[in-house]
Amino acid sequence: MSRETISQSISIVHPISLSHGRNAEVWDTTGKRYIDFVGGIGVLNLGHCHPGVVAAIREQATKLTHYAFNAAPHTPYIELMDRLTRFIPVDYAVSGMLTNSGAEAAENALKIVRGATGRTAVIAFDGAFHGRTLATLNLNGKVAPYKQKVGVLPGPVYHLPYPSADNGVSCAEALKAMDRLFSVEIDVNDVACFIIEPVQGEAGFLALDIEFAQALRRLCDEKNILLIADEIQSGFGRTGQRFAFSRLGIEPDLILLGKSIAGGVPLGAVVGRKALMDNLPKGGLGGTYSGNPIACAAALATLDAMTDEHLQDWGSQHEEAIVGRYEAWRSQHLSPYLGRLTGVGAMRGIELTSPDGTPASQQLTQLLSLARDAGLLLMPSGKSRHIIRLLAPLTIEPAVLEEGLDILQACLQQLV
């Protein structure tokens, strides 16, 4: 099958063609089986073809495949927003809108904060990833490959260091950089919002410093700045709880959702304080496909499966398995390239570093190939593409998780 009709600007991590999948396993067109530690880049927290999601899609497809909600409302959208706003663990009244993707949620959030504050400046963070659309490109804390050759981007946007024990940037260093920003670059009173990932995904699963998160919340309250939490990758149980911001002891004003919200069907959302979500004029928000009935049905089935008990059990299973293996590998000196374990809960990354401490990007490329040949799909991340993102479905069978970690162990031993 020719790929000549597909843009060569799309980068492919694994040069295979998948035909079908079940939970944490996928098969390519040659019949070869793989254990999936990519999960559609964090989309399949419930695995491939979750029975509840598939049943909901089938049933909805016999009733209504599409209607534009802003033309005539439909019940799946209404039911999902009611359930979703009750699923968000905050104390204030929540409302929101559905989108087609996480990037579209981010774009709409920027409109919402501009309308609510009358300001335009946004502060994002080094290493951030918020999407590939024109406005979200400027939020990303990385130039290559996202910002190359696209010209002037919408702004104004400023970036600060992202403080995390996983990257060695302290709370004090980030706060000092913030002081400099407000002294040299922009008046704090001109800032509309901060946008931050509670756990950075693209950067290699870096968990935000709790002290900084709380200091940031206080600053936003004092200066009437809005705080947006991007939970597109870290949400819906990825860390072992509903959303990663809960571990920080803060409540964001707006929350961006996507990826695992609908079990693999394209859907996103921006939700938050009702007064913020309602501030734009009628017609200021909406979209033709946003909140498609089939996607809403899949999301409702996803929420049915994501009870707090399930999330806690799945998160504990992943964390114990991954952390236990990693600690054993370190004690055994499994590989000279085995670096730090990043992230929190079930959202973990494994850093590869050379003996001199520099990122082992070449070895990660080798690892991707070795693991794929052995039947395991992995996803790279990090500024230097040197951190493995572990994104197996939360529903993975314990034996399959152990099998995948066995393959990873054997491949790490082969790195040269």
Residue with tokens 């774009």, as numbered in its chain: 107
Cα 283 to the chain's mean position, in Å? 28
Length of the chain: 416
Which pLDDT tens digits describe the chain residue by residue (416 residues)? 667 888 888 889 999 999 999 999 999 999 999 999 999 999 999 999 999 999 999 999 999 999 999 999 999 999 999 999 999 999 999 999 999 999 999 999 999 999 999 999 999 999 999 988 878 888 877 676 666 765 655 679 999 999 999 999 999 999 999 999 999 999 999 999 999 999 999 999 999 999 999 999 999 999 999 999 999 999 999 999 999 999 999 999 999 999 999 999 999 999 999 999 999 999 999 999 999 999 999 999 999 999 999 999 999 999 999 999 999 999 999 999 999 999 999 999 999 999 999 999 999 999 999 999 999 999 999 999 999 999 999 999 999 999 999 999 999 999 99
DSSP 269-296: EEEEEHHHHT-SPTTSS--SSTT-HHHH
Cα(266)–Cα(92) distance, integer angstroms: 28
Contact indicator for 401, 392 with CB cutoff of 8 Å:
yes
Contact indicator for 146, 130 with CB cutoff of 8 Å:
no
Beta strands 191-196; 121-125: pairing state: parallel
Q: Identify the pLDDT of residue 149.
A: 60
Can you name the residues that pair with 380 across neighbouring β-strands?
388
Q: Identify the pLDDT of residue 151.
A: 60
Contact indicator for 220, 123 with CB cutoff of 8 Å:
no
The Cα angle at residue 158 between residues 199 and 357, in degrees rounded to 5: 50
Nearest residue to 258 (alpha-carbon basis) of 59, 99, 28: 99
Calculate helix-pair angle for 361-374, 398-413, nearest 10 degrees. 130
Calculate helix-pair angle for 398-413, 308-331, nearest 10 degrees. 30
Cα(166)–Cα(134) distance, integer angstroms: 29
Contact indicator for 301, 50 with CB cutoff of 8 Å:
yes
Q: Identify the pLDDT of residue 10.
A: 85
Q: Identify the pLDDT of residue 158.
A: 96
Q: What are phi and psi of 226, to 5 degrees?
A: -90, 150
Q: Identify the pLDDT of residue 136.
A: 83
DSSP 22-60: EBTEEEETT--EEEESSHHHHT-TT-BT-HHHHHHHHHH
The model's pTM is 0.95
| Cα distances (Å, whole numbers) of residue 273 to 43, 112, 294 | 26, 11, 27
Residue with tokens 């920080």, as numbered in its chain: 248
**Residue-range domains of the chain with CATH:** 53-305 (3.40.640.10), 308-413 (3.90.1150.10)
Burial 86-111 (b: 16+ CB within 10 A, else e): ebbebeeebebbbbbbbbbbbbbbbe
Cα(313)–Cα(1) distance, integer angstroms: 42
Q: Identify the pLDDT of residue 115.
A: 95
Q: Identify the pLDDT of residue 27.
A: 98
Calculate helix-pair angle for 210-223, 171-180, nearest 10 degrees. 30
